[in-house]
Amino acid sequence: MACGVAGAQTRPVADMVLVHGTVLTVDAKDSTAQALAVRGGRIVAVGTDAAVMRLVGSHTQIVDLKGRTATPGLIDTHGHYGEAGSDDLFHVTLPDATSIAEIVRRVKARVDKAKPGEWIVGFGWDEGKLAEKRYLYASDLDAVSPNNPVVMTNSTGHYLTANSVALRLAKIADDTPDPAGGTIDRDASGHVTGILKENALRPISALIPPATPAQMRDGILMEAANLHSEGVTAVKDTASEHVWEAYRDLNREGRLDLRVCMLWRAGQSMVTANAVLAQMRAASPVERVYDGRLATCGAKIFMDGSSIARTAWSYDPWDKDGVADGTNTGYPGFDPEVYRSMVRMFHQAGVSVGTHAIGDKAIDWVVDTYAQVLKEKPTIGLRDSIIHAYLPTPHATETMAMLEAKYDAGYPEVQPVFLYWLGKSMPPNFGPERLARTMPLKTYLDHGIRWGAGSDYAVAPLAPRLGIWASVEREVMGGAHSFGTAEAVDVHTALRSYTAWAAPLIFLEREVGTLEVGKRADIAVWDKNPYAIPASELKNLRCEMTFVDGKVVFTRAK
């Protein structure tokens, strides 16, 4: 227990105090306290009830925690909230679908309300959760959608199912060759099945009507409310110029009660990378500096695809339904040398890079690229990241540790919730050796590597409590057999990956991530103390209140 009250020497009258609870500061010593005080949106004291109550004045708001626990506001270091919000509001949602028949019923219900020719779009099916344990195919959708193009995207976002109408509109037929960095799935007779992976999505995606600016803003506000209900106060989003504009408008209007640091998608060529750099500079002239609650974090590049789609770039072949998938080792999303040139260009411009990399060969290429360009132009503090970083080799792990220590770069941004949410779909593709080393959090910890955790929403649920629980328990949905349990970490480490370790990855470590004097009062209040309950109960933690800059943005109804 912290003695006295830190920061109380000048005895400022507080605007608000939180008392009679447990305060998990997540500071360098993992200190705990009973209470804290806020003035002007910042924490001015942390300590005992008695000491903090001495800062109460006639207008101070007193929040009685009644034994509950306060933590720093949680940070999601990788999501797609700007796009997912409008999808959740206006498209068919499928994360809870348990059969192909259920998906078809939902599609039919939307088709019945649509005009002929209107696009029907959905997201979130996962073959691992379906009773049929197989892909959704065009033939499943065609019977209920003869006059409407239908596209249902898998939960990973790396492959989708298009019905026959959509395939015709996109000019995808049996004789259409696979694009570079993409796969058109075909049956044993060579006919297209409707499954398109990676770059093969592009002809379809180009035809889907985009969300309007108003729809995007409404979606962001809805997702911000959902995040607040789970104790989240900041996110690192990944999107494009149109999403930036929606965030910018809300920020200017004072309606963005969420800190957002955005990675801009940089495409797959030097042409697209230079164009995005120009867009970034026009929108936010100084990277990593916040205007209100919004900042540019850097550029996002895809090095490979998805482990579940078996398109992640690996040294050894993936499995398919538990047996080797021929010689399929996945593939890079585009020419790796072009990727390296793009990273070099961004580094020369002083811009951070976050790279999607899942397969071990992809991760090696990414960390070696970071090491090479940083050696060419040593720069401290760009905090380049490896997004996902499922399957690092020992070489990659050692290189990440070097990059963090020498350059403040090379940070894994992981999604522990995948172990739970996608855990049924991993074993048929991974094999036992890969499963044992998937998302190696303990190995990272043993090498002194810090990581930031997140959800990749809408790929997985946004609630960090599920990621904290999965980091510790590594339990698969439905109680299925856990894997990689030797890579589990304790709850203190798991919470730190959503707070103190996450804050630097959105360039706000001086402002948020811990509950210390001088930090912004971004706070989450929980019904129970995560340090004091059985690990199995972490997934059931309930957020009771959330504060941003000392302002209440969420209170759970009684």
What's the pLDDT tens digit per position in 270-314? 999 999 999 999 998 888 999 999 999 999 999 999 999 999 999
pLDDT of residue 284: 87
Mean pLDDT of 18-31: 98
Q: What is the pLDDT of residues 72-113, one digit of tens each?
A: 999 999 999 999 999 999 999 999 999 999 999 999 999 999
Query: Alpha-carbon distance 247 to 230, whole Å?
Result: 20
Mean pLDDT of 433-441: 95
Mean pLDDT of 121-139: 95
Residues 6+ apart with CB under 8 A from 303: 313, 332, 333, 336, 339, 355, 356, 357, 362, 365, 366
Tokens of 428: 């048929």
Q: What does DSSP say about strands 259-265 and 294-302: parallel, antiparallel, or unpaired?
A: parallel
20 contacts 35 by C-beta, under 8 angstroms: yes
Q: What is the pLDDT of residues 519-549, one digit of tens each?
A: 999 999 999 999 999 999 999 999 999 999 9
Confidence bin at 3 (pLDDT 50/70/90): very low
Phi, psi of 46 (to 5 degrees): -140, 125
Tokens of 135: 């892909």
Q: What is the mean pLDDT of the chain?
A: 95
- With a cut of 70, say whether residue 10 has pLDDT above it: no
pLDDT of residue 1: 42
pLDDT of residue 2: 44
pLDDT of residue 263: 97
Q: What is the pLDDT of residues 355-373, one digit of tens each?
A: 999 999 999 999 999 999 9
pLDDT of residue 12: 76
If DSSP codes are grouped into helix, strand and coil, which group holds residue 242?
helix
pLDDT of residue 287: 83
Mean pLDDT of 469-489: 91
| Domains recognised in the chain with CATH numbers | 120-206 (3.10.310.70)
Query: Alpha-carbon distance 457 to 437, whole Å?
Result: 23
Q: What is the pLDDT of residues 52-83, one digit of tens each?
A: 999 999 999 999 999 999 999 999 999 999 99
pLDDT of residue 321: 86
pLDDT of residue 6: 59
Query: Alpha-carbon distance 330 to 434, whole Å?
Result: 15
Of 379, 381, 471, which Cα lies nearest the Cα of 419? 471
% of the chain residues with pLDDT over 70: 98
